[in-house]
Amino acid sequence: MPSIASNYLYSFVALLAVSTFLVGAFSYYTSTLRVIPEIEQLKNILDHVVAKGNELLTLATTTNTNVSIVVQLPSSIGHRQYWIQVRNNTSNAWLEGALGRYEESGTTHKVFFPGKASTLGHYISGYGPAFLECYMNGSIPQLNLESQED
């Protein structure tokens, strides 16, 4: 009779291991399903800010004036903080951003501006709306991004 009891014990341990594996797999799957819309929302925010930046760049270049705009952005994506910043090199300017804290994030998403510009600044969610400002710095437009306290 003892061999039958040990078989039940082995079956119970095997079922426990399989159920633990399944619960872990489903938890990972649901967290992945939650992250995909958050990344899409971040990309939509980047596209929106780049569109507003393009408007300012075009206006500042054609009229040679200082222009600025306040861009209302969500305070978080899901329950996560996000950040965006404008960057440039000698040939391109872009807006990049990521989910998470500004200091910790390494993976970014980029959206490029169509023309050459000099850029400066970043925005961290939860600190009020974003403030975009553009002016001509010689022959190159300067685009600045910063947080504006409410």
The string of pLDDT tens digits covering residues 26-42 is 888 887 777 788 899 99
Q: pTM of the entire structure?
A: 0.78
In a domain, 2, yes or no: no
The whole-number pLDDT of residue 107 equals 63
In a domain, 100, yes or no: yes
In a domain, 72, yes or no: yes
Scan for tokens 């190159």, then name that residue.
140
In a domain, 21, yes or no: no
In the chain, the number of structural domains is 1
Q: Per-residue pLDDT tens for 41-78?
A: 999 999 999 999 999 999 999 999 999 999 999 999 98
Scan for tokens 């079956």, then name that residue.
11
Q: Tell me what percent of the chain is helix, strand and coil, each rounded to the nearest 5.
A: 40, 30, 25
What is d(CA 52, CA 137) in angstroms, rounded to the nearest whole number?
19
Angle at 74 between CA 68 and CA 81, to 5 degrees: 110
Q: Is 103 helix (H, G, I), strand (E, B) or coil?
A: coil
In a domain, 113, yes or no: yes
In a domain, 9, yes or no: no
In a domain, 68, yes or no: yes
Q: Which domain holds residue 122?
A: 39-147
The whole-number pLDDT of residue 95 equals 94
In a domain, 127, yes or no: yes
